[in-house]
Amino acid sequence: MRKLIGPLALLVAVVGAAPSSFAQSPYDYPWCSVRGGWSGGGGQSCYYTSYQQCMATLSGIGGTCIRNPWFHGPEVRIERRFHRY
């Protein structure tokens, strides 16, 4: 019995010290990609942290990025850069 207690205590210590992580849902991200248009039967995925990240993903495959209608976090802003010519 004593031989079992040492390894068991070590296992409890290691598992207790490990950081717990939770899977994030699509409701945790502020941007969604819509492929194939609104009525085209394409897919929608809401796993983007920025507008630029969403647009980079859709580059070459088509689609658009929208604000996540189910996101309840802090307000997101699109960073606009204006260039002088």
Domain definitions of the chain by residue range? 23-72
Residues 6-28 pLDDT 10s: 555 555 554 444 444 555 676 78
Conformational region of residue 41, where left means phi above 0, alpha means psi within -120 to 50, and beta covers everything else: left
Give pLDDT, residue 72: 82
pLDDT digits over 30-73, tens only? 999 998 755 556 788 999 999 999 999 999 888 999 999 888 87
**In angstroms, rounded to a whole number, what is the distance separating the alpha carbons of residues 35 and 45?**
9
Q: What is the pLDDT of residue 55?
A: 94
68, 45 Cβ separation under 8 angstroms:
no
Dihedral (C-alpha) 40, 45, 51, 54: value to the nearest 10 degrees?
-80
